[in-house]
């Protein structure tokens, strides 16, 4: 596929704010792309060059891209840097500059009849894998050669791919809808495609299989080691008593709920890899957990689901999440292993000795997990009590709170209690200490905008506009503006922290009422935890918007609690959850 053809689709996606039109464009693109290119096309649409878990890092900072533009165009680096600083973006400059082809570039990219999608992908992968002495010079030269081989429109998108600023407005669910439309003319196939995607976490792989083998091939996609599975999510209720109503099981497992980081561990012999909730490879950050899994799991191959928690073994108590965040680092890992000891608390088994266990009932998975796990300093099985009444669940909940835990996760023990990757299921319901107070709820919301500060906040941001994720429509819908709860230092740092996600206009996946439009727009990337008093109807916000009644739902008296770096935007509180919370308030 010619890269110029793909660029024409990029431009059409960029030009529309309509999810329906975007889906139709993506369906057309799926039909146009070849079997060889379709996986790369999917990655590029999402602004990636490989599946997220592959951790492909181009290692291109703004300075290196400026050097590449200077090398390609024959201009002075300071001149290029000054233009970017004073006039616009790197991608706009790449399109505007005159960049002649030089024969010396032929050693890096051989292009005679225009760039192909394969050429661009190969070039970016060469940049990502360049290492050792002279690697930065090689990265710069490869990028310069690619820019020289491209026309002005292609140069803009190559630069955006290289700098991680693609932002076409299409999310992974919209891309899945496009595939479904291409095959069936509607969204009807999305559940099947979604399940396959959540099982393998590689949207390009799903697209390629669909292209090659049709829907039957997609249904055959199985769990694979070192391909993370999207974690199963929990529901919430307004009253503890509702748990017994929602979980249709005579026996309910009340598992301990921890204030830690969700981690999926893959064991293949002596090799262990750890993946975060966002499917990032964080193996190097937890060498103690790696050793705990390697020596404490009596299986050749296994995939575990659990939570890493900061743990004071001397006192026998779990530490708060903020303490654990000290372990999220690339450097000085050994120092912080000693300073912040952790424990990997395992609560599920997804794969064992070559077979997926996700379709087995929860009690069976738990029993297998107990058989193969030997507790140690860094590894243990989650605490759990089987309950048959609300009173027993409340006893387990109260006991957990006394030991510094967050609450309970109630899980069905019925024969259909399967593990549903990526889904928010009524098989699992969380009950936290915050829910004991009638007028408070915590939400994980996505920052999509900010209001300019006034008075003592002048020159910074006065508040941030936050949104929930509408899973069905693959859009972000506003819930509230948050201006309290931030420390003075956090407020002062906000503009710099959010700068990389700044947009000149409203991102296409964000739905905002005119009266709530912010002074600054941001791509939906940062998630924060927010505490509020109640969910109310509001004409100012779009969450679960009712066109007939001209209202959505809003969070009253919102207050910033903490950043949630381990959560992706699509893992934020859903619009459906907020609708349920509103209904639970009314019934209470």
Rounded Cα gap, residues 168 and 45, in angstroms: 7
Q: CB–CB of 193/177 below 8 Å?
A: no
Residue with the larger pLDDT of the pair 588 and 264 = 264
Domain 48-163: CATH architecture, name and number where available:
Orthogonal Bundle (1.10)
Q: CB–CB of 461/491 below 8 Å?
A: yes
pLDDT digits (tens, 9 = 90+) for 290-338: 999 999 999 999 999 999 998 887 777 788 787 787 777 766 778 777 7
User: Could you tell me the pLDDT band of residue 440, with boundaries at 50, 70 and 90?
Assistant: low
The alpha-helical segments, DSSP class H, found in 34-171 are 38-45, 62-73, 77-87, 90-96, 117-129, 135-149, 152-163
pLDDT reported for residue 403: 84
Query: What is residue 134's three-state secondary structure?
Result: coil
Write down the CATH number for the domain with range 233-436: 3.30.470.30
pLDDT reported for residue 435: 65
- Please say if the pLDDT value at position 432 is more than 90: no
Lowest model confidence (mean pLDDT) among 25-34, 425-434, 507-516:
425-434
- Of these ranges, 99-113, 190-204, 394-408, 497-511, the one predicted with the greatest mean pLDDT is 190-204
Rounded Cα gap, residues 159 and 140, in angstroms: 12
For the chain, the domains span 48-163, 233-436, 441-587
Rounded Cα gap, residues 140 and 131, in angstroms: 12
Residues whose CB is less than 8 angstroms from the CB of residue 580 and which lie 6 or more positions away in sequence, other chains included: 235, 236
Rounded Cα gap, residues 135 and 368, in angstroms: 47
Rounded Cα gap, residues 321 and 555, in angstroms: 24
Select from 195, 105, 198 the least CA-distant residue to 145. 105
pLDDT reported for residue 321: 82
- Across residues 493-516, what is the average pLDDT? 93
pLDDT reported for residue 246: 94
Residue with the larger pLDDT of the pair 211 and 583 = 211
Residues whose CB is less than 8 angstroms from the CB of residue 48 and which lie 6 or more positions away in sequence, other chains included: 56
User: Could you tell me the pLDDT band of residue 564, with boundaries at 50, 70 and 90?
Assistant: very high
Helix, strand and coil in the chain, % to nearest 5: 45, 25, 35
Q: CB–CB of 159/94 below 8 Å?
A: yes
* CB neighbours of residue 557 within 10 Å: 12
User: How many CA atoms lie less than 13 Å away from 288 in the CB half-sphere?
Assistant: 23
Rounded Cα gap, residues 341 and 291, in angstroms: 13
pLDDT digits (tens, 9 = 90+) for 55-95: 888 988 888 899 989 888 888 888 888 888 876 788 888 88
Rounded Cα gap, residues 111 and 576, in angstroms: 50
- Across residues 381-403, what is the average pLDDT? 92
Q: CB–CB of 70/231 below 8 Å?
A: no
- Percent of the chain past pLDDT 90, that is, above it, reads 68
pLDDT reported for residue 586: 56
pLDDT reported for residue 438: 44
DSSP state of 223: -
Angle at 471 between CA 468 and CA 476, to 5 degrees: 35
The structure's pTM equals 0.84
The two three-digit tokens of residue 546, written as one number: 């009712």
Rounded Cα gap, residues 234 and 532, in angstroms: 20
Mean pLDDT of the residues in the chain: 91
- Please say if the pLDDT value at position 166 is more than 80: yes
Cβ-in-10-Å burial (0-12, 13-18, 19+) of 515 comes to exposed
- Please say if the pLDDT value at position 588 is more than 50: no
Cβ-in-10-Å burial (0-12, 13-18, 19+) of 320 comes to middle
**102: annotated active-site residue:** no
Rounded Cα gap, residues 393 and 401, in angstroms: 12
- Superfamily classification of domain 441-587: Nucleic acid-binding proteins (2.40.50.140)
pLDDT digits (tens, 9 = 90+) for 271-285: 999 999 999 999 999
Q: CB–CB of 181/187 below 8 Å?
A: yes
Select from 151, 173, 179 the least CA-distant residue to 29. 179
DSSP state of 515: G
pLDDT reported for residue 52: 86
Rounded Cα gap, residues 459 and 156, in angstroms: 31
Residue of 257, 267, 411, 567 marked catalytic: 257
């Amino acid at each position: 596929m010619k890269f110029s053809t793909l660029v024409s689709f990029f431009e059409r996606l960029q030009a529309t704010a309509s999810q329906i039109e975007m889906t139709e464009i993506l369906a057309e693109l799926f039909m146009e792309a070849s079997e060889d290119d379709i996986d790369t096309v999917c990655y590029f649409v999402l602004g990636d060059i490989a599946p997220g878990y592959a951790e492909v890092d181009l290692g291109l900072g703004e300075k290196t891209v400026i050097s590449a533009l200077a090398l390609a165009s024959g201009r002075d680096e300071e001149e290029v840097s000054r233009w970017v600083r004073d006039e616009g973006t790197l991608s706009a400059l790449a399109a505007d500059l005159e960049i002649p082809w030089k024969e010396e570039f032929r050693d890096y990219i051989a292009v005679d009849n225009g760039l192909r999608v394969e050429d661009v992908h190969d070039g970016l992968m060469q940049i990502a894998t360049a290492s050792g002495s002279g690697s930065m010079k090689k990265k710069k030269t490869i990028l310069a050669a690619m820019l020289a081989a491209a026309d002005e429109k292609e140069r803009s998108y190559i630069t955006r791919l290289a700098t991680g600023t693609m932002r076409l407005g299409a999310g992974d669910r919209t891309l899945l809808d496009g595939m479904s439309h291409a095959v069936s003319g509607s969204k009807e196939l999305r559940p099947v495609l979604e399940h396959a995607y959540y099982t393998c976490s590689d949207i390009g792989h799903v697209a390629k299989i669909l292209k090659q083998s049709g829907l039957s091939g997609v249904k055959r996609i199985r769990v694979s080691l070192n391909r993370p599975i999207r974690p199963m999510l929990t529901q919430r209720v307004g009253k503890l008593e509702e748990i017994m109503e929602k979980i249709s099981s005579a026996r309910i497992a009340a598992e301990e709920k921890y204030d830690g980081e969700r981690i999926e561990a893959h064991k293949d012999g002596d090799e262990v890899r750890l993946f975060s909730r966002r499917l990032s490879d964080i193996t190097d950050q937890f060498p103690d957990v790696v050793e705990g899994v390697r020596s404490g799991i009596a299986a050749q191959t296994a995939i575990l689901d659990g939570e890493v928690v900061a743990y004071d073994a001397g006192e026998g108590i779990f530490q708060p999440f903020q303490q654990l965040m000290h372990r999220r680092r690339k450097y000085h890992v050994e120092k912080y292993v000693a300073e912040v000891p952790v424990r990997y608390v395992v609560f599920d088994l997804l794969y064992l000795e070559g077979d997926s266990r996700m379709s087995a009932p929860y009690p069976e998975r738990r029993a297998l997990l107990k058989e193969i796990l030997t507790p140690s300093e860094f590894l243990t099985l989650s605490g759990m009590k089987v309950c048959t009444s609300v009173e027993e669940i409340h006893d387990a909940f109260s006991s957990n709170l006394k030991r510094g835990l967050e609450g309970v996760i109630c899980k069905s023990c019925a024969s259909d209690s399967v593990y549903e990757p990526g889904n928010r299921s009524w098989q699992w319901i969380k009950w936290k200490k915050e829910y004991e107070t009638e007028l408070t709820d915590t939400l994980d919301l996505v920052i999509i905008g900010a209001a300019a500060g006034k008075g003592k906040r002048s020159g910074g941001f006065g508040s941030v506009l936050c949104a929930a994720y509408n899973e069905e429509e693959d859009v972000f819908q506003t819930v509230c503006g948050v201006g309290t709860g931030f420390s003075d230092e956090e407020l002062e740092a906000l503009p710099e922290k959010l700068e990389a996600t700044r947009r000149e206009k409203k991102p296409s996946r964000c739905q905002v009422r005119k009266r709530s439009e912010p002074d600054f727009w941001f791509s939906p990337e940062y998630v924060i935890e927010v505490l509020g008093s109640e969910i109310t109807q509001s004409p100012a916000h779009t969450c679960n918007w009712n066109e007939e009644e001209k209202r959505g739902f809003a969070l009253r008296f919102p207050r910033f609690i903490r950043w949630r770096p381990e959560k992706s935007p699509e893992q934020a509180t859903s619009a459906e959850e907020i609708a349920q919370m509103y209904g639970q308030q009314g019934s209470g």
